[in-house]
């Protein structure tokens, strides 16, 4: 069972540094959660992930449910042993896949919407998922077969996947969904949370897994605060005396909402339980999330960007597919201690990307993941040393060149 300890708070903010103890190890928070969607971090081995200093890996319930199947993963001892990862683990609930296959299907809208992506979402004949009060009926993106995810089946699948920390099944709505739908969805997510707590208690009699409730409500302050109060209050009811072990802040925001909407929620949620911001991984967003009281974050962005040649540096992003790097025989970032920067040049990686070599994704992913993991590690150290505001200012001025 999870144990969360706050070591230091940052005066005037909701930021804190702490530790999360799980059955498979201790997480120093704030911490970036490395995403291994299908029990693999694309292009990287578990040993490479460990060498980068990753503390915890998150896998995707929807994808592992479809392939190879939760039963197969259970026979392997859970997704951690399956992929040779023996540290702390998490699985999401599959709720975001309902969003991406339903309301967002065929649209340029994600958990964090920007610019022209913030438009009205209408129904599409091509949608692969349908949400009802019972759960989510969806078609597999692999073979078109029909499946029903319910709060109970999500708990059962996540139990088989064997993560230390799991999430209640929720409905992730579009950033553009109107107030009336967001309110209806919030009631549905709350009802699902109660069903998740009930089924989880039946499965986890020895308290091996920690269950996080998920806070929704879109971009509406009233609904976000209502969700935080209602989910937090579940810990005080007779039916659920212990309530949730932590909370996930689910998502649909514009980038400008991350600091405000997350802060609304964290000002209300129980202070003695960890908070995980789902699907956030850009440097500026990480600072905002920490300041707003988040302890954990997960995102596929660092490795996905890397596979397309876009790499983080202290001076901002660079794209190794640009012609100027073909004869640039310097590291991606001078002074970086990652394997890639210690052994290879921009010219070499540019060559690999232009030649469509698989090694390009590996070397670029090593650098980007190292960059984000070190960034969050440094944010933690700045909290402990009371230098957060200075570190944030100096980092963002250089990274964004402002």
- What are the catalytic residues? 92, 298
Region for 332 from its dihedrals, namely left if φ exceeds 0, alpha if ψ lies in -120 to 50, beta otherwise: alpha
- Give the span between the Cα atoms of 264 and 332, in whole angstroms: 38
For residue 298, CA distances in Å to 6, 186, 225, 284, 344 come to 20, 23, 23, 14, 28
User: How many Å apart are CA 241 and CA 201, to the nearest integer?
Assistant: 11
Q: Are strands 253-254 and 136-139 parallel, antiparallel or unpaired?
A: unpaired
Kindly report the CA angle at 384 between 284 and 89, in degrees rounded to 5?
65
Across the beta sheet with 146-149, the strand order is 129-131, 136-139, 146-149
- Contact (CB, 8 A) for 286 and 32: yes
Rounded distance between C-alpha atoms, residue 88 and residue 165, angstroms: 8
Closest CA to 103 of 123, 125, 132, 118: 123
In contact, 244 and 165? CB cutoff 8 Å: no
Distance of CA 314 to the CA centre of its chain: 23
């Amino acid at each position: 069972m999870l144990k969360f300890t706050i070591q230091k708070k940052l005066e005037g903010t909701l930021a804190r540094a702490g530790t999360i103890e799980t059955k498979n190890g201790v997480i120093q928070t704030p911490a970036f959660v490395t995403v291994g969607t299908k029990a693999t971090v694309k292009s990287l081995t578990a040993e490479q992930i460990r060498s980068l200093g990753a503390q915890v890996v998150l896998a995707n319930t929807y994808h592992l449910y479809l392939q190879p199947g939760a039963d197969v993963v259970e026979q392997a001892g859970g997704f951690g042993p399956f992929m040779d990862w023996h540290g702390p683990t998490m699985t999401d609930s599959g709720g975001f896949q309902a969003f991406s296959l339903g309301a967002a299907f065929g649209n340029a809208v994600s958990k964090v919407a920007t610019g022209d992506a913030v438009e009205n979402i209408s129904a599409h004949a091509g949608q692969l998922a349908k949400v009802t009060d019972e759960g989510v009926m969806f078609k597999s993106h692999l073979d078109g077969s029909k499946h029903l995810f319910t709060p109970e089946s999500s708990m059962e699948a996540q139990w088989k996947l064997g993560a230390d920390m799991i999430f209640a099944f929720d409905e992730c709505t579009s950033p553009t969904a109107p107030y009336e739908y967001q309110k209806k969805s919030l009631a549905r997510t709350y009802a699902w949370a109660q069903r998740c707590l009930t089924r989880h208690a039946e499965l986890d009699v020895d308290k091996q897994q920690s269950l996080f409730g998920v806070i929704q409500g879109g971009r509406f302050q009233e609904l976000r605060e209502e969700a935080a109060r209602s989910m937090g209050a579940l810990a005080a009811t007779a039916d659920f005396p212990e309530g949730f072990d932590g909370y996930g802040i689910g998502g649909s925001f514009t980038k400008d909402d991350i600091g405000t909407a997350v802060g609304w929620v964290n000002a209300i949620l129980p202070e003695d339980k960890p908070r995980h911001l789902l699907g956030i991984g850009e440097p500026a967003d990480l600072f905002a999330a920490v300041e707003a009281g988040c302890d954990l974050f997960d995102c596929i962005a660092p490795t996905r960007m890397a596979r397309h040649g876009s790499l983080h540096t202290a001076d901002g992003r660079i794209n190794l597919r640009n012609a100027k790097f073909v004869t640039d025989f310097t590291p991606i970032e001078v002074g970086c201690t990652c394997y890639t920067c210690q052994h290879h040049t921009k010219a070499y990686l540019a060559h690999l990307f232009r030649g469509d070599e698989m090694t390009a994704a590996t070397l670029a992913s090593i650098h980007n993941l190292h960059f984000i993991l070190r960034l969050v590690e440094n944010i933690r150290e700045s909290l402990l040393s009371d230098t957060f505001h200075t570190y944030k200012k100096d980092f963002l001025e250089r990274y964004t060149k402002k």
